Amino acid sequence: MNPPEEYTNNNFREPEQGGLIHSGKNLGEINSLDKVRDILFGNQIREVEKKFTRLEERLSKEFVNVRDETRKRLDALETYIKKEVESLTERLKNEQSERDSGVKTLAEEQKNLTITLEKKFAQFEEQTTNNHRELREQILSQSNNLQDDIRQKYEEILALLERESQELRRDKTDRSSLASLFTELAIRLNSDTNS
């Protein structure tokens, strides 16, 4: 808490006696008050500034870590999806190729062989549909997990910030009480000196 305006360096005014201001004597008292104020509150102000700087650095590191972790997970998820899609595509190509050659080879055989082939094709499509469905569910599950992790990190950062803010407010309140006490003491000393 800053001292009252009448006690700052530029605005300090001695009570007028007979319309005159005693500047030589008062200048030394102003310097003394400034030194006392710096001794009493300088360390606390610097300590609060250090705490704010450390808090800002910690928050910055946490945000960078969350961003990097999110990027890594998204990259891993993208790689996994690409591999799965490539694997499915390769399987589709291979099975389609085998089926084409089988159809050419078995084109002259009986209808029951054609019916069997159609059943296999239907099963393959069903399997592919199931694989796609499972893949979508896995992607959705991983996406939900990632969102939960991000939400949890966000809540942890907010809780940390709230704790630090409360601690700083508590420190500031104690300092304000001390400042008002010393200000009142300075006024009394000043009035005792002038009388």
- Domain of residue 123: give its range: 5-194
Tell me: pLDDT of 80 over 80. yes
How far is it, in rounded angstroms, from Cα 167 to Cα 36? 26
Answer whether 142's CB lies under 8 Å from 77's CB: yes
Mean pLDDT of the residues in the chain = 78
Tens of pLDDT, residues 116-138:
878 888 898 999 999 999 999 99
pLDDT value for 145: 92
User: Per residue, what are the HEC states of 67-85?
Assistant: HHHHHHHHHHHHHHHHHHH
Total tally of structural domains belonging to the chain? 1
Tell me: pLDDT of 154 over 60. yes
Q: 146: buried, middle or exposed (CB in 10 Å: 19+, 13-18, 0-12)?
A: middle
